[in-house]
């Protein structure tokens, strides 16, 4: 090759490389999908992608094999997304590939036929960045086949995130604004009240009176710390439906919700304090029976709140509270540990049950059973302010420890 052609060859090669770099720069991804969470509800599943920017999307289903397809524009996908293994009965085997220029396709193989109920973006809130949520619901094979393909796709033009209400928050809902450096908000719920006395103790003590005294005393102790804002769901002897208590905690944008109760049992020798967090599958038969008994409080006074507003129904169906449940469990562990230092506790102190009062999707929540009013000794102790103060001091220590974690 002559010197002229050699120079020309180098010039052309450099020009091609420069052009390719320019094309790559123009087509570089503007953001990234950083995580994936999948939560299963009753006959439904919610898929949530975490991202560092807003992006365009198209969501549709295909058959042979049945699969859910998400085509995105402007974002790439972190490797951890394709390795997600959240247990559910609807989707599996996440795969990631390309979708045209500057596009990424995410595919879920389906274990059961589904319909796309909705898909929407949520703008950054609190400690969360952008989130993209897809709601699926169980369907017959016939209905599934009637909705496959691009013609039935849900796209970013179909929903405006500003139109999505707070109750459409994904797997774990978020608070409207960060409160960095401000007081943490705690809601204390005194169980039962009014026409609902709760458990009745060995000598006739009403649970509703014990829980109200404990709630007021714990509020007073936390107020003295000077770093918490504390609200009570009730400050007097009134009846409040269980799900209204959930609404109260959410209306205050609570960082922590503590529902205070006292137990009873046919066996008067039963003793011990326990701490519960939410689970639709109770940790044992005793926990399941207790949850069923407590949840019936909503039908006293002739009122049945089983059929409630869509807002609360959505909350009750949103059982995939991954991060909220994790935070609840973290606090329950701390609370159990501190309580065991000052009171008798049941074995496996941290237990799980489907308490309606714990179902706020965006508020870490625990239910504290102070002990058994049916036991003469524990009933006598719980009537003593000095004993309740010991329990309160232990609770305050657990609360302080919980909020020392920067993520709370």
pLDDT tens for 42-71 read 677 889 899 999 999 999 999 999 999 999
Residue 171: C-alpha distances to residues 31, 75, 162, 338 (Å): 21, 21, 18, 30
List domains and CATH numbers for the chain.
31-168 (2.60.40.3500), 184-404 (3.40.630.40)
- What is the predicted pLDDT for the residue at 15? 44
Residue 240: C-alpha distances to residues 109, 116, 292 (Å): 45, 37, 17
Do residues 361 and 172 make contact, with C-beta atoms less than 8 angstroms apart? Answer: yes
Distance CA 192, CA 194 (A): 7
pLDDT tens for 75-96 read 889 888 877 666 677 888 899 9
- What is the predicted pLDDT for the residue at 113? 92
Strand ranges inside 8-166, DSSP E = 31-40, 44-51, 56-62, 67-73, 75-77, 91-98, 103-110, 114-122, 130-138, 154-155
Model pTM above 0.75 = no
- What is the predicted pLDDT for the residue at 230? 95
Distance CA 249, CA 159 (A): 29
- Between β-strands 67-73 and 56-62, what pairing exists: parallel, antiparallel or unpaired? antiparallel
The residue ranges of the chain whose pLDDT is under 70 are 1-29, 41-42, 84-87, 126-127, 158-181, 279-323, 353-361
Distance CA 224, CA 272 (A): 28
Strand partners, 368: 260, 275
CB atoms within 10 A of CB 329: 18
- What is the predicted pLDDT for the residue at 405? 86
- Between β-strands 67-73 and 228-232, what pairing exists: parallel, antiparallel or unpaired? unpaired
Among residues 33, 106, 31, which one has the least CA distance to residue 74?
Answer: 31
Place of tokens 């959410």: 250
Strand partners, 120: 133
């Amino acid at each position: 090759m002559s010197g002229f052609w050699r120079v020309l060859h180098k010039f052309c090669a450099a020009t091609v490389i420069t052009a390719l770099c320019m094309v790559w720069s123009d087509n570089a991804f503007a953001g990234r999908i950083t995580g994936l969470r999948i939560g299963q509800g009753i006959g439904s599943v919610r898929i949530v992608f975490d991202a560092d920017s807003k992006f365009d999307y198209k969501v549709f289903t295909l058959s042979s094999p049945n699969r859910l397809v998400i085509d995105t524009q402007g974002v790439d996908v972190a490797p951890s997304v394709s390795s997600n293994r959240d247990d559910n009965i609807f989707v599996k085997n996440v795969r990631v590939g390309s979708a045209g220029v500057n596009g990424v396709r995410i595919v879920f193989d389906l274990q059961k036929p589904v319909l796309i109920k909705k898909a929407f973006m949520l703008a950054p809130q609190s400690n969360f960045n952008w989130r993209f949520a897809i709601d699926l619901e169980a369907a017959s094979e016939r209905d599934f086949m009637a909705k496959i393909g691009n013609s039935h796709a849900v796209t970013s033009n179909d929903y405006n995130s500003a139109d999505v209400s707070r109750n459409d928050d994904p797997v774990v809902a978020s608070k409207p604004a960060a409160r960095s450096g401000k007081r943490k908000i705690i809601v204390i719920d005194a169980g039962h009240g009014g026409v609902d006395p709760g458990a009745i103790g060995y000598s006739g003590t009403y649970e509703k009176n014990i829980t109200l005294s404990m709630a007021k005393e714990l509020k007073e102790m936390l107020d003295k710390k000077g770093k918490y804002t504390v609200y009570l769901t009730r400050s007097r002897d009134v009846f409040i439906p269980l799900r209204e208590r959930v609404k109260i905690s959410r209306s205050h944008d609570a960082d922590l919700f503590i529902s205070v109760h006292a137990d009873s049992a046919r066996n008067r020798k039963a003793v011990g304090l326990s701490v519960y967090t939410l689970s639709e599958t109770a940790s044992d038969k005793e926990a399941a029976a207790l949850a069923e008994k407590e949840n019936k409080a909503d039908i006293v006074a002739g009122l049945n709140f089983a059929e409630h507003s869509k807002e609360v129904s959505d909350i009750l169906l949103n059982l995939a509270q991954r991060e909220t449940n994790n935070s609840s469990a973290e606090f329950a562990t701390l609370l159990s540990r501190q309580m065991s230092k000052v009171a008798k506790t049941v074995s496996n102190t941290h237990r799980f049950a489907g308490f309606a009062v714990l179902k706020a999707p965006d508020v870490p929540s625990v239910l504290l059973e102070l002990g058994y009013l049916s036991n003469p000794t524990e009933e006598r102790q719980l009537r003593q302010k000095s004993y309740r103060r010991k329990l309160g001091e232990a609770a305050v220590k657990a609360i302080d420890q919980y909020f020392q974690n920067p993520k709370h």
